[in-house]
Amino acid sequence: MYIVAKDGSGEFTSIQAAIDALPLSGRAPAIVLVQPGVYQERVVINKDNVRLIGAGETSEDTVITHSACAKDPYPDGKEKGTFLSFTVLVSGRNVEMEHITIRNDAGDGRLVGQAVALYAAGDRGVYRQCRLIAHQDTLFCGPTMPRVENEIAPRKSDAPCVDSVGDCPPTFPRQYFEECFIQGDVDFIFGPYRCWFEKCTLFMNDRGGWYTAANTPEEQPYGLVFHRCLLTGACGEGQAYLGRPWRKFARTLFIDCEMDAHVSPQGFYDWDEERPVTERLGESGTTGPRADQSLRHPQQKRLTAQEAQAVTLTDVLGSYDAWQPDRRVPTWFLCGDSTMADYIPQRYPMMGWGQKLPALLPEGFVQNCAINGRSSRSFIEEQRLAHIAPCLRPGDKLVIGFAHNDEKDDPRRCTTVDGTFPQYLSQYIDTARQHGAEPILVTPIARRNFDAQGRLTATHGEYPTAIRKLAKERNVPLVDLENATMALFQRLGEEGTRTRFCHVQPGHPNYPDGAADNTHLQESGAVEIAALFLSLLRGETALDASFSAAAGDITELLQKEDSVME
């Protein structure tokens, strides 16, 4: 997780600096959490798999703003034009934004020309509860062009690039907007992409104008689809039109939308003789003051209820990848210490078990927030739980695994078994439930601590007992890794467990003097404990032969992947 805060309390003070620091790609989205404030900057998101989240209670608390416009000049005096006026350009794939306001403050289009707030160019963009605010040309959903690529260099991406966006070929990328507020006046939602707007508010400025201007390619069956949206504004009655065709094959549909008196009874509007309204522009199920379609443009389509029902999200945005943007993939947030944490390659073969969980969890993403040396107390006091909280959504899981450092005689980390330890753990439980996520308590893994008779001895005192007790009291799922790893390590024996813990012979590139660590795992142990965690969580018998065989197969597979990557 990457934290952006204007006051310097995060890792970055600008959003662009955080984006630039992200890895090029990853299976799980890289989370960029933006603390409340007004960020006056232009942002280019050229990385794939990014989740940009405003940490405020509403989208109005976190604002990205810029003031570029079409009339801005090049050094030779030539105007830059519409597509270089953006505040935020998203050219990466699988980018999600939540609770963010994107604003272009250039001003009235009659004075400055077009001024784009959001330029959505990459495929599978998702925007939830965002505010997009400008005047003319607020939201563009379409490919980049060479002059745009030159402007953002070196932050180029693999997004589609065309010579002329006005006459572009059929385009694959798709965009999904849910419960967003989009404000503008002239043609303020435009472009050739397939886009679905679910429960959004379209707000027309007092100037009046056109909500949409699609330029859908002829061969493309869908363009802009608005479903259960509200169309309103500050202009005079009847001064807001549903849209006009930027190109003659424009495709725009309004289905089950509410339209107030700001909307013109005519609905759609001819651009000119070459670009008239056709049946590719239409509506169905309209409610509100403009529900009566008797005065609509004679050429626009009046979809029957049966025709409207056939226009589904899957039909509009679907493809070979079976993308379902309305169904969030659950995220598992891991809170814990060094036995769970991720490790950099320079620490290999040492690994936390949470580092191997993503490979075993195809049905969800993993955000491993565990960090070395933290206790249930210090994790909270360092605001790490506070950073996770705004990212939690219904269906997510918060995995809570502490004790190793709570046990220590350190005033910054220690907790008491019967007092502060369950109190701190309860804060994690409450945070998860407040956001609709499921908390999961985990007892600590056993240390490799054998006595003279070869018996594994417990080292965590009463802390695991306190976790078990709290899980029962708060009705929280419990994964008892202490008992399970005690049984597993005892069966493996003193010699067998060496291959699970970070025991390394001298001469290793990362451990020239060798290592004999009986607390931290190495890769094979991390895989085995991650598999054990999931097995216990699913209620399976974790220590039978099938589990050991599966863990061995997984270890072999991952080792082969690592050798290929090297």
DSSP strands (E only) in 291-402: 301-302, 331-336, 365-368, 397-401
Q: What tokens were used for 282? A: 């239409």
The answer to whether 551 and 359 are in contact (CB under 8 A) is: no
The whole-chain average pLDDT of the chain stands at 93
Residue 28: pLDDT band by 50, 70, 90 thresholds?
confident
pLDDT digits (tens, 9 = 90+) for 413-426: 999 999 999 999 99
pLDDT attached to residue 362: 81
Across the beta sheet with 2-4, the strand order is: 2-4, 30-34, 50-54, 95-98, 125-128, 174-178, 194-198, 224-227, 252-255, 281-284, 301-302
* pTM for the structure as a whole: 0.90
Q: What is the mean pLDDT of residues 313-333?
A: 92
Q: Residue 310: left (phi > 0), alpha (psi -120 to 50), or beta?
A: alpha
- Class of 331-565 in CATH: alpha beta
Which of 163, 118, 121, 168 is CA-nearest to residue 145?
163
Q: Alpha-carbon distance 461 to 59, whole Å?
A: 46
d(CA 367, CA 355): 10
Q: What angle do CA 48, 133, 280 make, to 5 degrees?
A: 80
Residues whose CB is less than 8 angstroms from the CB of residue 76 and which lie 6 or more positions away in sequence, other chains included: none
Give the pLDDT score at 38: 97
Mean of pLDDT values over 18-27: 86
Using 50, 70 and 90 to split pLDDT, how confident is the model at 541? low
Domain with CATH 3.40.50.1110 in the chain: 331-565
Alpha helices in 332-383 (DSSP H): 353-360, 376-381
Cβ proximity of 116 and 81 under 8 Å: no
For the chain, give the percent of residues with pLDDT over 70.
95
Q: Is 111 helix (H, G, I), strand (E, B) or coil?
A: helix
How confident is the model over 1-20, as pLDDT tens digits? 999 999 999 999 999 999 99
What single-letter DSSP state applies at residue 50? E
Q: pLDDT digit string (tens) for 221-255?
A: 999 999 999 999 999 999 999 999 999 999 999 99
Gyration radius of the chain's alpha carbons? 28
Confidence band for 318, pLDDT divided at 50, 70 and 90: confident
What DSSP line would sit under 141-207, residue for residue? ES-B-HHHHHHHTT---SS-B-S-GGG------EEEEES-EEEESSS-EEESSEEEEES-EEEE-TT
Q: What whole-number distance in Å separates Cα of residue 543 and Cα of residue 322?
A: 36
- Whole-angstrom distance, CA of residue 450 vs CA of residue 428: 33
**pLDDT over 80 at 556, yes or no:** no
pLDDT tens sequence across 94-123: 999 999 999 999 999 999 999 999 999 999
Q: pLDDT confidence of 188, banded at 50, 70, 90?
A: very high
Cα–Cα dist 42/55, whole Å: 19
Task: Provide the b/e sequence for 24-44 (b: ≥16 CB within 10 Å).
Answer: eeeebbbbbbbbbbebeebbb
User: Quick check: 169 pLDDT over 90?
Assistant: no
Query: Whole-angstrom Cα distance, residue 350 to residue 338?
Result: 10
- CATH 2.160.20.10 location in the chain: 64-301
Decide if pLDDT at 551 tops 60. Answer: no
Q: Please check whether the domain covering 64-301 is classified as CATH 1.10.3720.10.
A: no
